[in-house]
Amino acid sequence: MEILSPAGSPEGLAASIKGGCDAVYLGGKAFGARAFADNFSDQELQGAVNYAHDNRVKVYVTVNTLVKDSEMDDAVGYVKFLTDIGADAILIQDLGLLKNISRYDISKHASTQMGIHSASGLEWCSRHGMDRAVLSREMTFEEIAEAVKDSPVETEVFVQGAMCYCISGGCLFSSIVGGRSGNRGQCAQPCRKKYFMDDREGYLLSNADLYGVDWLKKLESIGVTSAKIEGRMRSQAYAYLATKVYSMANRGATAEEMRETDDLLKTVFNRGFGPGYLGGVVSPVQYKFADNRGYYLGTVEIADRRFNSADLIAKVHVKDGISIFRGDEKIGGFKLTNVGKITSPFGIPDGTYDIYRTYDPEIDVIKNLVGEAPKLTGDMSRYPVKIRRETVERPKRRPELSFYVNSLKTLDTILPYADRVYFDLSEHLKIAKRMCDKANVECVTNMPRFYPSGIRTDGTYMIHGPGEVVREEDDRVYGSYIMNCLNSSFTAELYQTTLSAEISKNEAEWLAQHTPGRLELMVFGRTELMCTRDPNMHNGILKDEKEFEFPVYRDEFGLSHIINSSDLFLLPYMKEIGGMGIESAGIDLRKRPSQLAKIVAEAYAENDLTKKGKITEMCGGINYGTYLKPIN
């Protein structure tokens, strides 16, 4: 099986290759999901490809962010450049970019951000020119085995490193709340912050790092092509050690043979480790801390600044660097000059403390082994590519009102005002369809956000990612805003596409002028910030350190939805939206009281801005999303 390692810098590239990888993945200065890594200039990319190939290592380049229309020409030109310099593959998230680069002879891999998590998703990849799919990190081993059994494309599975709390490709927390889009490589990491819920306090959304060494041979046995190590923003020592551990395991080394290297890996970066979802749907959260603390050595009693290293659960050595913590607070750290009776060089109150190893002298040995970063140069230039776009005539219109609901009571309230209803798949769906038929309103089944086993429904339904449902010829398929339509090249064979929740007014207007087919824009409701498989997240209110409250509800498919603390409210701009020719306005009233549903439905049906005050009062707050404040 291929060992695929991170290269966030020239130093990281050398480290991963010397650690024994078969392939590396890296990014340029734009269009990569790790915008804050050092990354590579165009000339360095050419040099990196040559350096890796000289060492018989493949190079996959990340082009896996969402692309705006204003950036598309540059993104396509970038892919052409990567083809010209001999990169072995590119990773893609954006469906519009995929469409525009079909003519380039370079292997195309579906990024995990594309949300591929089923056999039908892998079939979709094959039909659309993809050679490999990086599967969602939320899949269990059994689900992976079922999906890859007869896969027409190669498959790649994360085995090591950081895990997103949200289902892959669907996180809007960073952009909607923090103004920095994770889908565009600038995640502000809201999942690594402290939260409060019921009587729980801690880093409730912070996953432990994935550690899948024990699953490597099992994944190989079911036909997974590549084992991926996350960590482009981590040190060269981490890149080397992680690669070496997995390369050794791939060759059949025993746990004892790997122990020294494995211990060093857990020293150089450690926020806790676990198997993620590979072993089943269990919580991957490590809620005590979200930062790198190094290798946990044990808990000791310190008195008069002294403790005994014999009380630790792991051995320490002279020159090891240790850090002392009490709960969240780092008390300090120092290098050991002896073992046994150890005295802190700084004052510390008597009490119980956690001890971590943050430095091992062997790490310096590794840095010397990796050596200086290679000089990466190239002489090829990138040339602009012009994408041809047709102008679409869209008549001004009153947008249809499409309501998202999941209760029969709310449905009954909004039916007199609705042109369309998206009703969540549930035991009430049949009754909801009868009610809609009686009112002559279209009823669309809103599919679950994540279902690896696949679900078959009738011919009118809404999906949230490519390939989620095997489409029959007469199906009418709608796409939700989770599908991330941010440009006019977006295509997913949909009857109607909902624009990205991260789109601005000007971007929506341009997109509408250059996109055939029906479009929807969300105009009301609490945007879904995260959807998680974590079984420990349940119905309630999640509160952050600034006292903002984010409602959480758990659905019957075992998924928990974290929604925004205030409601999107674009009622003042409905005429403007209609002037763009956008066919449908999405109004999300799931899990909302029928009194609010009624006044919201009336206000949008009558374009009645006088109801704004009452709606704001009932909602507890409103926002205008990214409509008036574009994301970068």
Q: What is the C-alpha to C-alpha distance for residues 206 and 314, in angstroms, rounded to an integer?
A: 26
Would you place residue 578 in the very low, low, confident or very high pLDDT band (cuts 50, 70, 90)?
very high
* Mean of all residue pLDDT scores within the chain: 95
Q: 270 and 301 share a domain?
A: no
Angle ∠(591,492,423) on CA atoms, nearest 5: 20
Contact 497, 489 (CB under 8 A): no
Average pLDDT over residues 144-164: 97
Q: Are strands 23-27 and 58-63 parallel, antiparallel or unpaired?
A: parallel
Give 251's contacts (C-beta < 8 A, 6+ positions apart): none
Does one domain contain both 249 and 110?
Answer: yes
Contact 399, 420 (CB under 8 A): no
Query: Torsion angle, CA of 237/240/244/250, rounded to 10 degrees?
Result: 130
Longest Cα separation, the chain? 82
* Mean pLDDT computed over 596-618: 98
Say how far apart CA 48 and CA 375 lie, in whole Å.
9
Model confidence over 413-429: pLDDT tens digits? Answer: 999 999 999 999 999 99
Looking at the structure, do residues 423 and 307 belong to the same domain, yes or no? Answer: no
**Per-residue pLDDT at 263:** 95
Euclidean distance between CA atoms 334 and 346, whole angstroms = 9
**Beta-bridge partners for 553:** 561
Residue 405, H or E segment: strand 400-405
Residue 374 CB partners (closer than 8 Å, separation 6+): 10, 13, 14, 47, 51
User: What are the tens digits of pLDDT across the range 175-208?
Assistant: 999 889 999 989 999 999 999 999 999 999 999 9
| pLDDT score for 36 | 66
Report the share of the chain in percent with pLDDT over 70. 99
In a domain, 196, yes or no: no
Residue by residue, DSSP assigns 515-577 as --SEEEEEEEE--EEEEE--TT--SEEEEETT--EEEEEE-TTS-EEEE-SSEEE-GGGHHHH
544 assigned to some structural domain: no
Question: What pLDDT is recorded for position 475?
Answer: 87
Which of the four pLDDT bands, split at 50, 70 and 90, describes residue 598?
Answer: very high
Same domain as 438, residue 340? no
| Cα angle: 401, vertex 406, 410; to 5 degrees | 65
Three-state DSSP state, 615 = helix
What pTM, to 2 d.p., does this model score?
0.95
Which residue's structure tokens are 């696949």?
A: 454
CB-based contact 29:48 (threshold 8 Å): no
pLDDT for residue 466: 87
Are the CB atoms for 623 and 568 separated by under 8 Å?
yes
Rounded alpha-carbon distances, angstroms, from residue 175 to 180, 366, 543: 4, 38, 18
Q: What is the CA radius of gyration of the chain?
A: 26
Q: Is 533 within a domain?
A: no
Statement to judge: residues 419 and 333 lie in one domain: no
**What sign results for the dihedral spanned by CA atoms 86, 91, 94, 96?**
positive
Q: How far is CA 285 from the centre of its chain?
A: 16
In sign, the C-alpha dihedral spanning 259, 262, 267, 270 is negative
Give CA–CA dist 119/100, Å, rounded: 25
16-74 confidence digits (pLDDT tens): 999 999 999 999 998 876 666 678 999 999 999 999 999 999 999 999 999 999 999 99
| Domain membership flag for residue 336 | yes
HSE at residue 44, side-chain half, CA atoms within 13 A, is 19
Of 132, 112, 154, nearest in space to 276 by CA: 112
Per-position DSSP letters for 436-488, written without gaps between them: HHHTT-EEEEE--S--TT-----SEEEESSTTSSPPPTT-EEEE-GGG-B-ST
Q: What pLDDT is recorded for position 279?
A: 97
**Domain total for the chain?**
3
Q: Which helix (H) or strand (E) holds 174?
A: helix 173-178
pLDDT at 35: 62
Is there a domain that residue 74 lies in?
yes
| pLDDT at position 37 | 66
Q: Within a 13 Å sphere around the CA of 76, how many CA atoms are in the beta-carbon half?
A: 21
End-to-end, the C-alpha distance of the chain in Å comes to 38
Q: Are residues 262 and 320 in the same domain?
A: no
Q: Is 450 found in the same domain as 487?
A: yes
- Show the tokens assigned to 177: 């709340």
**Residue 320 sits in the same domain as residue 268:** no
Residue 539, domain member (yes or no): no
Domain final residue, candidates 336, 355, 374: 355
* Predicted confidence (pLDDT) per residue in 203-241, tens digit: 999 999 999 999 999 999 999 999 999 999 999 999 999
Is 582 in the same domain as 461? yes
Tokens of 609: 């801005």
Q: Which domain holds residue 35?
A: 2-165+213-274
CATH number assigned to the domain comprising residue 576: 3.20.20.70
In a domain, 120, yes or no: yes
Residue 610 has pLDDT above 70, yes or no: yes
Q: Is residue 69 part of a domain?
A: yes
pLDDT digits (tens, 9 = 90+) for 439-483: 999 999 999 999 987 777 778 999 999 877 666 678 899 999 999
| pLDDT band at residue 526 using 50, 70 and 90 as cut-offs | very high
3-state SS assignment for residue 400: strand
Report the pLDDT value the prediction gives residue 39, as an integer from 0 to 100. Answer: 85
Cβ atoms < 10 Å from Cβ of 99:
17
State whether 508 and 453 are in the same domain: yes
Regarding whether 499 and 438 lie in a shared domain, the answer is: yes
Confidence of residue 328 (pLDDT cuts 50, 70, 90): confident
How far is 470 from 335, CA to CA, in rounded Å? 59
pLDDT at position 625 is 95
Residue-level pLDDT at 470: 62
Q: Same structural domain for residues 270 and 319? A: no
